[in-house]
C-alpha cells in the first residue's frame, strides 16, 4: 500500500519538476524571440537610400535570423505540447491517487468491521484510515485494539503492496487476559494473519497453543527456553564492547 502511494507521489513530483523546467525553457525562448523580432524591426526602420546597398548585403543574415525565429517558434510549440501532455499526466496520477486512497479507506473500514465481530466488545472506531495516534484503553482491551489495527494494516499491505513482504508479530498477551479474550485474539490471528499468502512469523508461548484451532497446519519451531547460552552471550557482549572502542 505505502509503496503504491510513494510511487504515485514520486511520479507526480517528477512530472511537476519536468513541467517547471519546460516552463523556464519556454520563458527563455520567448525572450530570445522577442529580442530577434525587435532587432529585425529596428533594422528595417533604419533603412535609407544610402543604406540600401548595405542592407542588400545583410539580407542573407536577416533571412538566417528569420529561419532561427521560425525554428525557435517551432521548438516553443513543441515545448507547449509537451507541457500540456505532462500536465494531463499529472492530473491522471492525482486522480489515480485519489481513487486508490478511496479504495484503501473502504477496505480499511471493511476489515475493521470484521475485527469488531471477532473481537467483541472492542471499540475500533477511534482511528480513521492512516490516522496514527494515541487511543483510549488499557490492559488487555488496549492489546486487542493494537492487534486489530495491526491485522487490518497487514491485510492492506498484502492486498495492495507491490512486494510480498513477510509479516511478523511478537507475543501480545498480558497476565490479566481472560480465557474469552485469548480465544477471541487467537481467533483473529488465525482468521486474518495465518490465512495470509505472505510468509508469516508469529511467536507463541507453550501454554497458549491450546487456543489455536488449526495447530496441525502450521510449521512450528521450538526454540527452547533460552535462545542464547551464557557463554555465547558473554562472547557477543565482548565483541560489541570491542567494536564500540574502535
Residue 43 makes CB contacts below 8 A (sequence gap 6+) with 55, 58, 62
Rounded to 10 deg, the angle between the 59-118 and 179-188 helix axes is: 140
In tens, the pLDDT along 87-129 reads: 888 888 888 888 988 999 999 999 999 999 999 888 888 889 8
Q: What percent of the chain has pLDDT over 70?
A: 79
SS (H, E, C) 10-37: HHHHHHHHHHHHHHHHHHHHHHHHHHHH
Instruction: State the pLDDT at residue 229.
Output: 74
Residue 133's region, left for phi above 0, alpha for psi from -120 to 50, else beta, is beta
pTM over 0.95: no
State the chain's mean pLDDT as an integer: 80
Domain boundaries, the chain: 2-113, 139-230
The pLDDT tens digits for 141-174 are 888 898 999 999 999 998 888 888 888 988 766 6
d(CA 41, CA 22): 28
DSSP letter at 200 equals E
Amino acid at each position: 500500500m505505502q509503496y503504491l502511494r510513494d510511487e504515485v507521489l514520486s511520479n507526480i513530483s517528477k512530472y511537476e519538476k519536468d513541467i517547471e523546467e519546460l516552463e523556464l525553457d519556454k520563458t527563455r525562448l520567448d525572450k530570445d524571440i522577442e529580442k530577434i523580432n525587435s532587432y529585425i524591426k529596428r533594422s528595417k526602420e533604419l533603412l535609407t537610400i544610402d543604406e540600401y546597398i548595405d542592407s542588400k548585403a545583410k539580407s542573407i543574415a536577416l533571412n538566417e535570423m528569420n529561419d532561427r525565429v521560425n525554428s525557435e517558434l517551432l521548438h516553443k510549440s513543441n515545448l507547449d505540447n509537451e507541457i500540456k501532455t505532462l500536465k494531463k499526466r499529472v492530473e491522471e496520477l492525482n486522480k489515480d491517487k485519489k481513487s486508490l486512497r478511496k479504495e484503501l479507506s473502504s477496505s480499511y473500514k471493511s476489515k475493521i468491521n470484521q475485527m469488531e465481530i471477532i473481537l467483541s466488545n472492542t471499540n475500533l472506531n477511534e482511528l480513521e484510515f492512516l490516522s496514527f495516534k494515541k487511543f483510549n484503553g488499557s490492559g488487555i482491551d488496549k492489546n486487542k485494539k493494537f492487534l486489530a489495527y495491526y491485522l487490518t494494516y497487514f491485510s492492506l499491505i498484502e492486498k495492495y503492496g507491490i512486494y510480498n513482504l513477510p509479516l511478523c508479530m511478537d507475543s501480545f498477551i498480558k497476565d490479566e487476559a481472560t480465557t474469552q479474550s485469548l480465544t477471541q485474539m487467537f481467533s483473529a490471528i488465525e482468521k486474518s494473519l495465518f490465512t495470509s499468502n505472505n510468509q508469516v512469523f508469529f511467536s507463541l508461548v507453550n501454554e497458549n497453543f491450546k487456543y489455536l484451532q488449526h495447530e496441525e497446519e502450521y510449521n512450528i519451531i521450538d526454540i527452547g527456553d533460552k535462545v542464547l547460552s551464557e557463554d555465547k552471550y558473554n562472547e557477543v557482549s565482548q565483541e560489541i564492547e570491542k567494536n564500540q572502542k574502535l
